[in-house]
Structure 1
Amino acid sequence: MKLTRTNIEKILLASRRENYWDTELPGFCLRVSDKKKMFAVAKRVGGKVVWVTLGAYSPAYTPEKAREDAIKAIAELTRGENPNEKKKETKASSVTLKEVLDSYLEARTLKQTTRKSYQYVVTFYLKDWLDRPLVSITKDQVEKKHKEITEEHGPTPANYAFKILRALFTYAEAKYENSKGNPLIAVNPVKRLSQVRAWNRIGTRRNQFIRSEDLPAWWKEVQSLTNETIRDYLTFLLLTGLRRQEAAQLRWADVNLKTKILTIPDPKNRNPHILPLSDALMAILERRKKNAESLFVFPGRGKGGYIVEPKRALDTVRKKSGVTFMLHDLRRTFALIAEQIVPVYTLKRLMNHAGGEDVTFKHYLGTDETALKKSMQAITDKILELASAKVANFANEEGG
């Protein structure tokens, strides 16, 4: 039967797919299912039948138009070219930066904060490129845009934006191919920044801590803060070695005052962190629990309901104590004091550091937790000794 409008209208939709072959053009057919009638071409190429879908039958896509497309497709197949691969390449070539970003975020297992950060950075700093095909972004454009963002927003945002862009291009290199199976993106254009040394120098990485001789002055000013939550938060960071966000987002549901342990369910390394509590930490938590009205141990007025970095209080402590510090320095201070009195594998466990191939670390994971609690208590005692502090003070403090 020749595939004409009259003949096609007579064909009913079928529960099972059926093929109706054109009698004039070998390989040209109409594939009918329960939902639509689809024009297609089939031809054996290299011992394998290759199907090429042309389009659905409609007033706009007539049998005459489909026949013209079928002739072209059959000619391409005869030459050894696969129209399907060409379509795939054309589609891949047109994929935009935004589409790659969405695909990347869907494919990767990232923390929610990281996902939001990537989305914000790309949509804000690279908003002019969102609807552009990724393959159209050149090395020169990368270098120019990086410079523009640096001048307008600063060196750190510029570097961060293009590190994300570099990751998106790397992902696209693996995901999108041309008709020959080669990467559609041969060279990551962000490499230009390394080749011409255009990355901004942010400065050496901070590696500071509070020195033992400065600890009493720092401690005195922290304990003098009138805001009890901020005071306890800073003290808690020093005595646990937790990261600032881990402590800030700590919920009462993750604190067990009976067994004297707390749990960080989703830390930076994605391995749940179980930490024993020393006497001083227990005193702080038991006091706070008595008047707790929030889900969080350290509540705040921010959107999340937990404390955010108390910049004014930090400035006050810095000014009055003469000690320059950042919140993460408290974690480093904990580590430096701890490594003087506990084995390195114990410290790794207390700070939830990955053990890698460290055999002694892996062995330690299976030992009695009592030893871990004793180590935590010893570290707290040493910090309090250096700070000239007493445990009893924690239980009796009143909020200001």
Structure 2
Amino acid sequence: MKMKLTITSVKTLTPSTKPYEVLDTEIKGFLLRVQPSGSMTYYLSYRNKANKRSRYKIGTNSLSPTQARDIAEKLAGKIANNEDIQTNRKSDRAKGMQEKLKTLEGFINNRYEEWVTTHRKSGVETIKTIKRHFNQFYQKPLSEINPWIIDKWRSDRKKAGISASTINRDIASLKSALSKAVEWRIIDTHPLSALKPFKTDGKVNVRYLSDHETASLRKALIDRDNKIINERENANRWREKRGYDLYPDITNYSYADHLTPMTLLTINTGLRRGEMFDLKWTDINLDTKTLTIHGKTAKSGQTRHIPLNHEVIKTLTQWKIHASDNELIFPNKKGNRFHTIKRSWASIIKSAGITGFRWHDLRHDFASKLVMAGVPLNTVRELLGHTDLKTTLRYAHLAPDHKADAVERLSMQNNQQR
């Protein structure tokens, strides 16, 4: 079919059962392809330097016929001058992408986010950290994110009461992204290579629960489960009277949702939050009473086996009775992996009257209680999945009388020498 491609003529075109093309009568090779779906695309058909027939996609019908015609005329002129318009397009695209990647925003959105969320377990959190804390630098070229502006940024954060360790972690996320920019040759050198982290106290006090706090937390969890179950029961009575579909009945459930079994599991195993989110039923062996953290989901990259005590076995057994067929032990409402439980955790901690206690502190609580019970530090290291004993040494001061015993031995030696 041939016709001059104008706004009026294009409006008369209707889809067919098969794709068809309309050739313009004025510009050689200028055409419009119409798909059965109704979508339309403008092309320029031409012969390249090797005298082979080739096509250049001009664009969809989001372009007007006049706009598409102007582009076709310019392309025809370039072809007449022996220019390779396909190579030029690729080059222009590459240059355009390079321009996009020059700023922090362009690099994060167009390259780094996809990579880090695919290859790093903490990728989603890493992107959230960068977007939340460094968005003020988004329009800056990567090479201009220098130690001076980041040092000023972290000084302001420190004045605002943010801990040095938190600031260091946030900057580490940014530095990792910039390292990839160097690796991928988007920038020549790392602009923050000279920036040293804040010095931190490696022996800061570890937060763990007192006996009273432990009892308060457990009671708050029980009260929360009972409240949710009672509210569901009342809601179903109300809906039944009005002929509405009922919510799933959880009256006889041991737990109203994931929060209590998650908490009890972590208190008794010291799992990292991400490890718990990744747990599958196939990782639990109730016969051998062990839980396996596989290297691919562990922070250390090393597989480890954790023995399960009576409370964990009881908790998981009761949870499995009412759990869905999902392979994950703790899927979210959509059946997918959790990424955070900050809101529900903050609520339960408030109900329990506990302050300054994060979810990660449950892991500290597990380790602290083991050390205070006299468990050797190396055993604690293995259970926690630490690759370096130095990391576990933060709990050493909790060992019963180990320092007092050492000092007392010195006193005994001195007495013997008198």
Normalised by the length of structure 2, the TM-score is 0.50
Higher relative contact order (CA 8 A, sep 6+): 1
Distance across 2 between alignment mates of 1:93 and 1:339: 51
The answer to whether the Cα contact below 8 Å between 2:213 and 2:354 also exists between their aligned partners in 1 is: no
1:152 and 2:193 equivalent? no
Distance across 2 between alignment mates of 1:244 and 1:305: 18
Distance across 1 between alignment mates of 2:318 and 2:71: 76
Q: Deviations over 1:113-163 (max 9, x none)?
A: x34532332222222244x3xxx5143343343122211113555544443
Question: Residues 51 and 159 of structure 1: is their aligned pair in 2 closer, same or farther, counting only changes over 3 Å?
Answer: farther
The answer to whether the Cα contact below 8 Å between 1:146 and 1:159 also exists between their aligned partners in 2 is: no
Q: How many residues align?
A: 306
Q: Deviations over 1:305-344 (max 9, x none)?
A: 8987998699xxxxxxxxxxx658649969992759x9xx
1:36 and 2:29 equivalent? no
Structure 1 residues 294-333: aligned runs within 5 Å: 303-304=344-345, 330=368
Question: Residues 42 and 128 of structure 1: is their aligned pair in 2 closer, same or farther, counting only changes over 3 Å?
Answer: farther
What is the aligned partner in structure 2 of residue 187 from structure 1?
Answer: 188
What is the aligned partner in structure 2 of residue 227 from structure 1?
Answer: 214
Distance across 1 between alignment mates of 2:200 and 2:40: 64
Instruction: Choose the corresponding residue for 1:261, options 276, 290, 312.
Output: 290
Distance across 2 between alignment mates of 1:246 and 1:7: 59
The answer to whether the Cα contact below 8 Å between 2:5 and 2:65 also exists between their aligned partners in 1 is: no
What is the identity, as a one-letter code, of the residue corresponding to 2:35? S
Instruction: Choose the corresponding residue for 1:202, options 199, 202, 206.
Output: 199
What is the identity, as a one-letter code, of the residue corresponding to 1:54? I
Distance across 1 between alignment mates of 2:172 and 2:71: 46
| Partner-residue secondary structure (3-state), 1:90 | helix
Distance across 1 between alignment mates of 2:374 and 2:53: 65
1:122 and 2:126 equivalent? no
The answer to whether the Cα contact below 8 Å between 2:44 and 2:72 also exists between their aligned partners in 1 is: no
What is the identity, as a one-letter code, of the residue corresponding to 2:93? K
Question: Residues 291 and 82 of structure 1: is their aligned pair in 2 closer, same or farther, counting only changes over 3 Å?
Answer: closer
What is the identity, as a one-letter code, of the residue corresponding to 1:163? A
What is the identity, as a one-letter code, of the residue corresponding to 1:147? D
Question: Once the two structures are aligned, what percentage of the paired residues are identical?
Answer: 16
What is the identity, as a one-letter code, of the residue corresponding to 1:192? P
Q: Deviations over 1:56-83 (max 9, x none)?
A: 3468441542433433553686257422
Q: Deviations over 1:259-293 (max 9, x none)?
A: 5334558643577754234xxx44x658999999x
Distance across 2 between alignment mates of 1:156 and 1:141: 21
The answer to whether the Cα contact below 8 Å between 1:248 and 1:308 also exists between their aligned partners in 2 is: no
What is the aligned partner in structure 1 of residue 88 from structure 2?
Answer: 82
Distance across 2 between alignment mates of 1:38 and 1:161: 46
What is the identity, as a one-letter code, of the residue corresponding to 2:131? T
Question: Residues 60 and 24 of structure 1: is their aligned pair in 2 closer, same or farther, counting only changes over 3 Å?
Answer: closer
Distance across 1 between alignment mates of 2:18 and 2:179: 43
Distance across 2 between alignment mates of 1:158 and 1:66: 51
Distance across 2 between alignment mates of 1:222 and 1:271: 28
What is the aligned partner in structure 2 of residue 276 from structure 1?
Answer: 307
Question: Residues 57 and 227 of structure 1: is their aligned pair in 2 closer, same or farther, counting only changes over 3 Å?
Answer: closer
Deviation, 1:10, is 5.7
Unaligned runs of 5+ residues in structure 2 are 159-163, 219-261, 324-328, 330-340, 358-363, 388-398, 403-418
Distance across 1 between alignment mates of 2:173 and 2:17: 48
Q: Which moved more, 1:32-41 or 1:49-58?
A: 49-58
Q: Deviations over 1:151-183 (max 9, x none)?
A: 1113555544443334444556778xxxxxxx5
1:55 and 2:36 equivalent? no
Question: Residues 144 and 271 of structure 1: is their aligned pair in 2 closer, same or farther, counting only changes over 3 Å?
Answer: same
1:165 and 2:174 equivalent? yes
Deviation, 1:23, is 5.6
1:109 and 2:118 equivalent? yes
The answer to whether the Cα contact below 8 Å between 1:29 and 1:40 also exists between their aligned partners in 2 is: yes
Question: Residues 64 and 259 of structure 1: is their aligned pair in 2 closer, same or farther, counting only changes over 3 Å?
Answer: closer
Distance across 1 between alignment mates of 2:318 and 2:63: 73
- RMSD value, Cα: 5.9
Unaligned runs of 5+ residues in structure 1 are 176-182, 211-220, 315-325, 355-382, 387-400
Q: Deviations over 1:175-227 (max 9, x none)?
A: 8xxxxxxx5x2425xx1221xx22334347x38999xxxxxxxxxx9886563
Question: Residues 335 and 308 of structure 1: is their aligned pair in 2 closer, same or farther, counting only changes over 3 Å?
Answer: farther
Distance across 1 between alignment mates of 2:39 and 2:70: 17
Normalised by the length of structure 1, the TM-score is 0.52
| Partner-residue secondary structure (3-state), 1:94 | helix
